Amino acid sequence: MKKKDWVKFGVMMAIFVFILALDLVTKYVFDDLLDDGRTITVIPYLFNFHLVHNYGAAWGMLAGKQVFLIVLTFVFLAIFIFYYIKEKNKTWFMNITFGFLFAGCIGNLYDRLFFGYVRDFIQFDFWKSFPVFNFADVALTVGVILLIIYLIMYYVKDYKSKQKEKTGNE
């Protein structure tokens, strides 16, 4: 691996470690601070800290299906790792994307494995029906959005290069 590739990998790992640490530390703090069921208003009518033990996925979907969610997380991690290893041109964008994805997956997987639920604590006060979430959820959301952008850019670039080959060969 070239020095530049090691630097990109290091950036991905730094993002992963920072987000995972932020997620696990804040979950620990708010799980202890809000274990009595109270809510801390951070910005009135905007957002609060309110602890929820989520036994499912977003909006409580698949509640009680922890084994399925754990297996699903391992499947996605395996797909991400396989894709990351397989990809020869590991761009800065790709490394940043996978840093977010790995941190989000591992943060919530840790909770599922060790607690049987995910500790969520960030709540939008103005949108009561929106699920309470944590930093792993934020990382997953950002990571998935970046992955979609990355894949679109990759396939558009690939399509253009194939079109150039077609027109160049005729």
**Catalytic residue ranges:** 120, 137
Calculate the dihedral angle through the C-alpha atoms of 141, 142, 143, 146, rounding to the nearest 10 degrees. Answer: 120
Q: Is residue 95 within 8 Å of residue 8, measured between CB atoms? A: yes
Structure tokens at 142: 């950002």
List Cα–Cα distances, 26 to 93, 99, 119, 134, 166, in angstroms. 27, 19, 10, 8, 54
Q: Which helix (H) or strand (E) holds 42?
A: strand 39-43
Tell me the CA distances in angstroms from 30 to 24, 34, 39, 166, one per residue in order: 10, 6, 10, 58
